[in-house]
Amino acid sequence: MELGISGKRALVCASSKGLGRGCAEALAEAGVDLVLNARGAEALEATAEAIRARHGVAVTTVAADITEEDGRARVLEAAGDLDILVTNAGGPPPGLWSDWGREDFIKALDANMLTPIALMTAILPGMIDRGWGRVVNITSQSVKAPIPQLGLSNAARTGLTGYVAGTARQVAGKGVTINNLLPGSHDTDRAVALERGVAKAQDVSMEEARKIRCSSIPSGRYGTIEEFGATCAFLCSQHAGFIVGQNILLDGGQTNATI
Ligand code: NAP
């Protein structure tokens, strides 16, 4: 399908690997020029070079922590005028409800709620002025169904979801859409880290740990970053202008709910 966004310019945060990279690749395939960000410069440059070689689009890189004010400022300065914004960052650590104090919540809210809000606050005015924009926030399946050990993530991402629900309706009339993508289990470094935890806790091999994790997913497998990226690119396309303030679950059916 022709997405109609060739020549547009996108910032994809936290995109040297994983879901962010999947989004960057799919946008590049649609002819979108990119600004990519991650903390580690080496993987970021390697990803940028691979995307330039494969898709022939312009790729600018900014090695910075997107959750910190100065890092964000450097990214925004390099980005300039944007048509598309994909927000993303690492997720908060797991634990038990009684582990967390105020500082832990502030850190999680900063990274997974206030960072995407700050990016939208900076970028939406230009999109509105130009009469066209697409924002996609990478959140989590935990917004629809809580993951008990991820209380910090459940809290911060649900806060962002509430903000998007209202804001998306304030900007939709200006040609700008904001939607959230909610990943379930995907085949990224994070999945391997979670498998390591299962392998250790249950004294099984990594292969067995993967089978155990996949057994609770009706699709019987993890999602791929290519599938995730394709959904992101569609939400950023000309065809998706009537999709406003939605939370799109990509979880292989794992969240057991009728709607
Ligand atoms: P990943 O494979 O570990 O990739 C994370 C990417 O983000 C890397 O490029 C990393 O590069 C970059 N990054 C992390 N923190 C950053 C920061 N503060 N500033 C800038 N870049 C940063 O992770 P993922 O699996 O794609 O997950 C992405 C997000 O989706 C996370 O918030 C995760 O919690 C959420 N999620 C993932 C899944 C899943 O199954 N994968 C499920 C639900 C939710 P550097 O380390 O070099 O910065």
Residue 223 Cα, ligand 1 centroid: separation in angstroms? 15
- Rounded-to-integer distance, Cα 153 and Cα 105, Å: 9
Cβ atoms of residues 15 and 23 within 8 Å: yes
Q: How far is the CA of 88 from the centre of ligand 1 (A)?
A: 7
20 touches ligand 1 (CB under 6 Å) = yes
Q: Is the beta carbon of 48 within 6 A of some atom in ligand 1?
A: no
- Closest by CA to 240, choosing from 134, 86, 100, is 134
Could you tell me which residues come within 8 angstroms of residue 38 by beta carbon, excluding any fewer than 6 positions away? 14, 15, 16, 17, 20, 44, 47, 63
- What does the pLDDT read at residue 197? 87
Find the 129 Cα to ligand 1 centroid distance in Å.
Answer: 31
Q: Is the CB of 188 under 6 A from ligand 1?
A: yes
Does the Cβ of 230 fall within 6 Å of ligand 1? no
Describe the strand order of the beta sheet including 176-183 as a list of residue ranges: 59-63, 33-38, 9-12, 84-87, 133-138, 176-183, 247-250
Ligand 1, closest atom to CA 16? 9
The pTM assigned to this predicted structure is 0.98
Atom of ligand 1 nearest to the CA of 92: 34
**Buried-exposed string 90-100: b where 16+ CB fall within 10 A, e elsewhere:** ebbeeeeeeeb
Is the CB of residue 249 less than 8 Å from the CB of residue 257? no
C-beta of 191 in contact with ligand 1 (< 6 A):
yes
pLDDT for 7: 98
Calculate how far, in angstroms, residue 22's C-alpha sits from the geometric centre of ligand 1. 11
Q: What is the pLDDT along the chain (259 residues), one digit of tens a residue?
A: 999 999 999 999 999 999 999 999 999 999 999 999 999 999 999 999 999 999 999 999 999 999 999 999 999 999 999 999 999 999 999 999 999 999 999 999 999 999 999 999 999 999 999 999 999 999 999 999 999 999 999 999 999 999 999 999 999 999 999 999 999 999 999 889 889 989 999 999 999 999 999 999 999 999 999 999 999 999 999 999 999 999 999 999 999 999 9
What was the pLDDT predicted at 194? 85
> Who contacts 203 (Cβ-Cβ below 8 Å, separation ≥6)?
none
pLDDT of residue 16: 98
C-alpha 14 to ligand 1 mean position (Å):
6
CB-side neighbour CA atoms (13 Å) of 22: 21
Give distance in angstroms: CA of 143 to centre of ligand 1.
Answer: 17
Q: Given CA atoms 137, 143, 149, 153 in this order, what sign does their dihedral have?
A: positive
Q: What are phi and psi of 132, to 5 degrees?
A: -160, 135
Distance 161 CA to ligand 1 centre (A): 18
- Residue 190 has a pLDDT of 86
Of all protein residues, the one whose alpha carbon is nearest to atom 20 of ligand 1 is: 38
Q: Give me the pLDDT at residue 137, please.
A: 99
pLDDT at residue 175, as a whole number: 98
